Chains A and B, each alone.
Chain A
Amino acid sequence: MWIALVITHGLLAFLLLGAVTHQVVSVLVPARAGATHFVARFRAVGSANYANAIIVLYLITAALGAYIYTNYRISARLILEQGHYWKSFGAFEIKEHLIAIGLAILPAYWYFWRQPLDETDAVTRKLLTVLIAFIVWWAFLAGHIANNIRGLGT
């Protein structure tokens, strides 16, 4: 069961990563009018449309991760410690704190992305998005690396 949960957690994290990356790119480097190539289309997504999906995906992924974390604590973590994988271990420790702080940012993130967008809040909206993108990227990579060290079902 734990393997199925870890894979589901990874897939949800991947969806979240895609959504938040689309949004942060479109916020930081919005597409110029008339551009038609792939990168321009990537940048041209309606960033406001992603906010609710990002919040829902963040909450579901974090909740599932919090559940799986109990198993990590009594199995995979010991392997990281015994193998002296301190950088990966530290990255995972930081991940748990970043996720916890990210949870508290979500109400403000939702508030500043609600429609119609208030232009006076554009900088706050942009920086909240960058912060959430950083948290999601860190969490994804740290989780992925830790999982690669431990392996599935070993």
Chain B
Amino acid sequence: MKSSSVKSQGIRTSRRFGVFAVTFAAVYAVVYYIVLVNNWPLFSYGPAVGEWTLFNHGASDGPTMYWYGWIATSAIVAAVIGALVSLLPERMSRRLWSGLAWLVPLGAIAAIFHLLGGYFTH
């Protein structure tokens, strides 16, 4: 009895992780594209001066890197939404199509190619 309860708990946890993982991949891809286009990093970094600043701030000298900040913003938003969706009752989360895990990132990649396509026609 105890072993079957542990097993069913394990299956539930695994299913929840699956829902989280699919949601995380899809939400992250969308948020990353939006964050990239609008330049909404959680933090910025100036590599020439080793300077970290919150949000979108130019470094006091040299170039500013936003890439780490874009990843952080997207990961936090996707983790929160993924966690919330994984807590939904099974009858609702069961409707989540697993293909969103590759389809939405593929769409974001296509959008990024379109956004940066100018480099190839320069």
Asked whether any CB of chain B lies closer than 8 Å to the CB of A7, the reply is no
Is the beta-carbon distance between B105 and A131 smaller than 8 angstroms? yes
Is the beta-carbon distance between A123 and B99 smaller than 8 angstroms? yes
CB-CB under 8 A from A90, the residues of chain B are 116-120, 122
Closest residue of chain A to B63 (Cβ to Cβ) is A73
Q: Please tell me which one of the listed residues A66, A98, A121, A123 contacts residue B109 in the complex, with CB atoms under 8 A apart.
A: A98
Asked whether any CB of chain B lies closer than 8 Å to the CB of A100, the reply is yes
CB-CB under 8 A from A121, the residues of chain B are 98
- B residues contacting the other copy or chain, number (CB 8 A): 41
A128, B29: Cα distance in complex, Å: 14
How many cross-chain pairs have Cβ atoms below 8 Å apart between A and B? Answer: 107
Q: Please tell me which one of the listed residues B32, B98, B116 contacts residue A112 in the complex, with CB atoms under 8 A apart.
A: B98
CB-CB under 8 A from B78, the residues of chain A are 104
Closest residue of chain B to A96 (Cβ to Cβ) is B67
Is the beta-carbon distance between B101 and A105 smaller than 8 angstroms? yes
Asked whether any CB of chain A lies closer than 8 Å to the CB of B108, the reply is yes
Closest residue of chain B to A97 (Cβ to Cβ) is B112
A128, B118: Cα distance in complex, Å: 28
A84, B122: Cα distance in complex, Å: 9
CB-CB under 8 A from A93, the residues of chain B are 116, 119
New A-B pairs, 20, CB < 8 Å, besides A74-B62, A96-B67, A105-B102? A73-B47, A73-B63, A86-B119, A90-B116, A90-B119, A90-B122, A98-B109, A100-B32, A101-B28, A104-B32, A105-B101, A107-B17, A108-B18, A108-B98, A108-B102, A110-B21, A114-B14, A124-B99, A127-B99, A130-B102
Q: Which 4 A-B pairs have the closest CB atoms?
A: A90-B119, A104-B28, A86-B122, A108-B101
